[in-house]
């Protein structure tokens, strides 16, 4: 809470010329003026009040006395924040004179922040509603393939990510049954648009990089959408704190359990029958791994060890849960012991086991892997009118291709491109109207639908083959299919979502 600019007050009138998106405590003397301001839409109560509100940088104001110390205002039992938040350009994010937000993005994950940043790069403003109090970096890290770096370059942050993460040269796959190499694939190959580029990127680093490129106040934390209603062409977004936001455009980037996807009528994602756990190990003096992806496949599981930088290594483990697992999922310690026991029995190298032994693991011990049926995307509505979905709200997929986060970044670039064409049709930001927004979102859906279907289908097939215990599939996998599966991963990454 660095500053509060140009607020003039008296007992009969309150006028706000300009403000940051910060909480403000007003004195009890604000009577008629307070009512007038509330009626005009300038102010509204925070629910819950001050101690739950966070701004960019996640500063939380817990003591109203700070307002008195910094601004000379007496604390009051009434706390308000501004409905319309200024952006870097100095104007309100709401459509001028309408009291309605222009573009609202549900979720500050990869898809949501990529979309917001893409729009910002084009000069179009948006508001991101994030349900949690801070950015969430579940999963520690993710494989960032060539297609994702093309999207990051389009957003203007690719080099910032490259600077802190290792470039891989090869992929090595080992049989979990014999410990012998099953496939070796060079990653220094040419794709359709240049050399391939694969790194394992820390999720929190990427999210913070995207956030730092956005104007102050773009993200509103602790703002969970619980229901959606229609008021003509405007969407009424009811939040868990009891407040309501009116939006001209709603983009659902709210994850696998998306409220927006449900409103569009998309069916719930399907359980794959597999679960995953993961962790990140730090090696302050260096880990000694080469620039390579290590995979261990077979005996009903798939595990990977991926260096992120010279001092950090990410690992993952997916398997078919069974009653024989016992109480493995009751705690982090028990899950770690379970994974280590499985890997030791599979002749995994000691250096890979050390990564798991010393790693930090999520409080979420394991996650069931879900995917959306490809048929649901063939028949379902990715967009309808002025509403659409992106990221996991659109195409949740199993992790075998490592394309979930990559595809979310692609979505953000394509969606920002389509919407900016509508909002900037005359060279300056304006209200494009319902029909133009609908056409823009339909264009996005048409471009992304079959990409999502292909990724979901390929990931499921690859996962089934990699983790099958069927003797015939096991034989084919270890003799012939491992190399083919690795090449499939490369082929799905050889994609360019285009420029903004």
Question: How would you classify residue 403: left for phi > 0, otherwise alpha for psi between -120 and 50, otherwise beta?
Answer: alpha
Under the banding of pLDDT at 50, 70 and 90, the label for residue 126 is very high
Q: Mind listing the pLDDT tens digit for each residue in 243-302?
A: 999 999 999 999 999 999 999 999 999 999 999 999 999 999 999 999 999 999 888 899
Q: Angle at the Cα of 279 (from 168 to 139), degrees rounded to 5?
A: 85
Q: Report if residue 124 sits inside a domain.
A: no
The gap between the terminal CA atoms of the chain, to the nearest Å, is 33
Claim to verify: residue 365 and residue 469 sit in the same structural domain:
yes
What value does the mean pLDDT of the chain take?
A: 82
User: So what's the pLDDT on residue 480?
Assistant: 66
Over range 159-188, report the average pLDDT.
91
d(Cα 234, Cα 94) in Å, to the nearest integer?
A: 13
Q: Mind listing the pLDDT tens digit for each residue in 439-465?
A: 999 999 999 999 999 999 999 988 888
Q: Report if residue 156 sits inside a domain.
A: yes
Domain finish residue from 52, 68, 83: 83
Q: Report if residue 309 sits inside a domain.
A: yes
Claim to verify: residue 297 and residue 365 sit in the same structural domain:
yes
Who's near 163: CB < 8 A, 6+ residues apart? none
Residue identified by tokens 């930088």 is 309
Highest mean pLDDT among 97-101, 212-216, 461-465: 212-216
**Beta strands at 234-239 and 244-252: parallel, antiparallel or unpaired:** antiparallel
User: So what's the pLDDT on residue 420?
Assistant: 96
Q: Report if residue 332 sits inside a domain.
A: yes
**Beta strands at 101-106 and 127-129: parallel, antiparallel or unpaired:** parallel
Claim to verify: residue 79 and residue 193 sit in the same structural domain:
no
Q: Mind listing the pLDDT tens digit for each residue in 9-52?
A: 333 232 232 333 333 333 333 333 333 333 333 333 333 333 33
Of residues 184 and 34, more confidently modeled? 184
pLDDT at 93 over 70: no
Any idea what DSSP says for residue 266?
P
Claim to verify: residue 17 and residue 155 sit in the same structural domain:
no
Claim to verify: residue 68 and residue 191 sit in the same structural domain:
no
Who's near 272: CB < 8 A, 6+ residues apart? 368, 369, 370, 371, 398, 460, 463
Claim to verify: residue 38 and residue 173 sit in the same structural domain:
no
Claim to verify: residue 6 and residue 79 sit in the same structural domain:
yes
Claim to verify: residue 194 and residue 336 sit in the same structural domain:
yes
Domain finish residue from 83, 104, 130: 83
Q: With beta carbons less than 8 A apart as the criterion, state whether 409 and 148 touch.
A: yes
What separation in angstroms does the CA of 192 have from each of 150, 196, 333, 405? 12, 9, 45, 21
Under the banding of pLDDT at 50, 70 and 90, the label for residue 486 is confident
Q: Report if residue 246 sits inside a domain.
A: no
Q: Report if residue 437 sits inside a domain.
A: no
Question: How many structural domains does the chain have?
Answer: 2
| Structural domain containing residue 484 | 141-204+286-370+462-493
pLDDT at 230 over 60: yes
Q: Report if residue 348 sits inside a domain.
A: yes
| CATH code for position 165 | 3.30.9.30
User: So what's the pLDDT on residue 479?
Assistant: 66
Claim to verify: residue 354 and residue 476 sit in the same structural domain:
yes
Q: Angle at the Cα of 7 (from 6 to 9), degrees rounded to 5?
A: 145
Lowest-pLDDT choice from 31-40, 211-220, 312-321, 350-359: 31-40
**E strands along 234-386, which residues?**
234-239, 244-252, 270-282, 292-298, 301-307, 312-319, 360-361, 367-371, 383-384
Q: With beta carbons less than 8 A apart as the criterion, state whether 482 and 400 touch.
A: no
**Beta strands at 199-202 and 141-144: parallel, antiparallel or unpaired:** antiparallel
Claim to verify: residue 197 and residue 317 sit in the same structural domain:
yes
pTM for the full model? 0.80
Claim to verify: residue 75 and residue 152 sit in the same structural domain:
no
Q: Report if residue 467 sits inside a domain.
A: yes
Claim to verify: residue 75 and residue 193 sit in the same structural domain:
no
3-state secondary structure of 117: helix
Q: With beta carbons less than 8 A apart as the criterion, state whether 387 and 470 touch.
A: no
Domain finish residue from 83, 101, 128: 83
């Amino acid at each position: 809470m660095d500053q509060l600019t140009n607020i003039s007050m008296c007992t009969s009138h309150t006028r706000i010329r300009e403000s940051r998106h910060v909480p403000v405590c007003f004195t009890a003397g604000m009577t008629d003026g307070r009512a007038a301001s509330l009626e005009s839409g300038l102010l509204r109560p925070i629910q819950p009040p001050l101690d739950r509100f966070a701004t960019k940088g996640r500063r939380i104001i817990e003591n109203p006395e700070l307002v008195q110390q910094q601004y000379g205002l007496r604390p009051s039992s009434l706390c308000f924040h501004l409905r319309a938040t200024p952006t870097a350009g100095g104007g309100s994010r709401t459509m001028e004179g309408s009291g309605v937000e222009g573009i609202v993005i549900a979720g500050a994950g990869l898809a949501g922040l990529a979309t917001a940043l893409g729009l910002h790069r084009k000069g179009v403003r948006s508001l991101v509603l994030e349900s949690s109090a801070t950015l969430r970096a579940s999963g520690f890290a993710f494989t960032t393939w060539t297609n994702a770096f093309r999207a990051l370059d389009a957003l203007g942050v690719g080099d910032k990510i490259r600077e802190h993460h290792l470039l891989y040269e090869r992929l090595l796959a080992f049989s979990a049954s014999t410990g012998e190499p099953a496939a070796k694939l060079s990653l220094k190959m040419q794709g359709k648009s240049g050399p391939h580029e694969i790194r394992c990127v820390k999720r929190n680093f990427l999210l913070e990089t995207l956030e730092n490129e956005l104007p102050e106040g773009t993200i509103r934390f602790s703002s969970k959408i619980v229901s959606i209603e229609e008021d003509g062409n405007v969407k009424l977004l009811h939040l868990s704190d009891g407040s309501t936001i009116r939006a001209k455009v709603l983009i659902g980037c709210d994850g696998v359990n998306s409220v927006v996807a449900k409103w569009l009528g998309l069916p719930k994602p399907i359980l794959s029958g597999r679960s995953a756990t993961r962790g990140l190990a730090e090696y302050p003096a260096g880990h000694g791994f080469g620039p390579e992806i290590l995979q261990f496949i077979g005996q009903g599981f798939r595990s990977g060890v991926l260096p992120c930088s010279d001092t950090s290594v990410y690992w993952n483990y997916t398997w078919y849960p069974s009653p024989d697992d016992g109480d493995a999922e009751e705690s982090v310690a028990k899950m770690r012991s379970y994974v280590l026991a499985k890997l030791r029995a599979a002749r995994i190298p000691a250096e890979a086991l050390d990564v798991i032994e010393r790693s930090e693991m999520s409080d979420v011990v394991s996650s069931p892997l879900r995917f959306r049926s490809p048929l649901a995307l063939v028949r379902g509505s990715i967009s309808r009118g002025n509403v659409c979905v992106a990221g996991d709200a659109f195409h949740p997929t199993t992790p075998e291709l490592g394309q979930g986060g990559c595809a979310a970044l692609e979505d953000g670039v394509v969606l920002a491109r389509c919407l900016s064409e509508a909002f900037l049709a005359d060279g300056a930001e304006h209200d494009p109207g319902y029909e133009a927004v609908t056409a823009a979102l339909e264009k996005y859906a048409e471009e992304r639908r079959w990409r999502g279907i292909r990724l979901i289908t390929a990931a499921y097939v690859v996962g089934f083959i990699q983790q099958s215990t069927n003797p015939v599939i096991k034989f084919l996998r270890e003799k012939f299919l491992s190399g083919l599966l690795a090449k499939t991963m490369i082929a799905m990454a050889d994609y360019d979502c285009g420029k903004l």
